[in-house]
Amino acid sequence: MERYLSKHFATPDMRRLSVASKHGAYEMLERALKMEPGEVVELVKASGLRGHGGAGFSAGLKWSFVPKDTFPRYVTVNADESEPGTFKDRLILERDPHLLLEGALICAWAVQAETIYIYIRGEYFYPTKVMDAAIEEARQKGYIGERILGSDFSCQVYTHPGAGMYICGEETGLIESLEGKKGQPRFKPPYYPAAIGLWQAPTIVNNVETLAAVPWVMRLGPEKFASLGTPKSGGTCLASLSGSVKNPGVYEIPMGFPLDELIYELGGGPPNGGKVKAVIPGGSSSPILTAEEAKGIKLDFESVADAGSMLGSAAIIVVDESVSIPQMLYWVLRFYAHESCGQCTQCREGTGWMLRLCKRLLDGKGKMRDIDDLDEIADAPDGTTICAFGPAVSWPTKSYLKKFRHEFEALVKE
């Protein structure tokens, strides 16, 4: 398969500008600066590029939402990468930082922003070091700073360490954190970042992978880029494959790639002759699919949604028959109970109650009633909270209980 985003992951010293330049780094920025900003937005729209941070929103459409005549504007790169199961942005940061910088600068030109913040997961010390060095090299060569490449466009780029909370990856939580406050999400509406974001100014928040795809959109042209994927999801995606597979890792696949091929051919299938019992297709926030439901599905936003789950950040976690689903739910709930930012009662209290009920069942002290209570409490944060963290804990919990109820009942009966 042809690789784009990951093409240079194995190229030695690609993080150095001298090497990246030999492979065409910043050529697309130069091209973009000769175009009108609006033309760049239209080009990205036409490519079918969708966000790889979770929601799969059209990148070009988001860029077009910036209100006219409101300045300053910001671009914020979401490099918080904290959804359990997702580990692909890190590779871009570490191995091809200039690809990301070029994409972010093209975005900044397209939306006329003069500052880019790269908000990097706090634990990513090494990727931050690599990015800082790449920014410095790019600045010295005139790709960042005043009058970039002799144009009228000036743009500064800064990294910012994440505050060590999952919720700082949610775009408005991220913005609060960048402003130096607790990373607690804002109400949407009115706080859609493209209109009212960082310091109340228009702010484009895009995931690392989304922005790293932008130079490829320009290089290949929007039609060719779109044709790599499906009619509604253009290009390729970096799938983080983990769990019960022999070859876990990050695989670049075209949007619409068959899940079975990813699990069995690229991933080598479950180790020790195991059998797949379930698949989580989009990180811990996505509903679980039984092996039967997952069979034959394609990895694009629509197909995974049709199967009853979501592609999210394409974090595919394979579960074989050796894994206990109640135990998995316990790990998931422990994570969410710890990470809730605490603003909404349904989320703050609900996650704690769900965790305690799940623990009671696992400890062999549960009653049948606890399974129903767990299911009922899981309803509360769905659609009633400030941010999508609520549904992100509700959906997986309800799906584990519905599809693998017998495993929970066995804990009571046995």
Binding residues for ligand SF4, rule: CB under 6 A, are 167, 185, 340-344, 347-348, 385-387, 389-390
Residues in 197-256 at the binding interface with ligand FMN, rule: CB under 6 A: 205-207, 210
Choosing from 389, 395, 400, 408, the residue that interacts with ligand FMN (CB under 6 A) is 389
CA 137 from chain center: how many Å? Answer: 27
Q: Helix crossing, 405-413 with 345-362: angle to 10°?
A: 50
Q: Give the binding range for ligand FMN (CB under 6 A) out of 46-54, 297-305, 348-356, 359-367.
A: 46-54
259 binds ligand FMN (CB under 6 A): no
176 binds ligand FMN (CB under 6 A): no
**CB closer to ligand SF4 out of 253 and 337:** 337
206 binds, among ligand SF4, ligand FMN, none (CB under 5 to 8 A by kind): ligand FMN
The residues with which 258 forms a beta bridge, in sequence order, are 298
**Backbone torsion region of residue 199, taken as left when φ is above 0, otherwise alpha when ψ lies between -120 and 50, otherwise beta:** left
Return the half-sphere exposure (C-beta side, CA atoms, 13 A cut-off) of residue 35: 19
**CB closer to ligand SF4 out of 303 and 385:** 385
Q: How many Å apart are CA 253 and CA 41, to the nearest integer?
A: 25
289 binds, among ligand SF4, ligand FMN, none (CB under 5 to 8 A by kind): none
In whole angstroms, how close is the CB of 50 to ligand FMN at the nearest point?
Answer: 7
252 binds, among ligand FMN, ligand SF4, none (CB under 5 to 8 A by kind): none
81 binds ligand FMN (CB under 6 A): yes
**CB closer to ligand SF4 out of 108 and 347:** 347
**Burial class of residue 161 (count of CB atoms within 10 Å of its CB; 0-12, 13-18, 19+):** middle
**Backbone torsion region of residue 57, taken as left when φ is above 0, otherwise alpha when ψ lies between -120 and 50, otherwise beta:** beta
348 binds, among ligand SF4, ligand FMN, none (CB under 5 to 8 A by kind): ligand SF4
**CB closer to ligand FMN out of 59 and 253:** 59
Longest dimension (CA), the chain: 74
Instruction: Give the chain's end-to-end CA distance (angstroms, integer).
Output: 49
3-class secondary structure, 155: strand
In whole angstroms, how close is the CB of 124 to ligand FMN at the nearest point?
Answer: 11
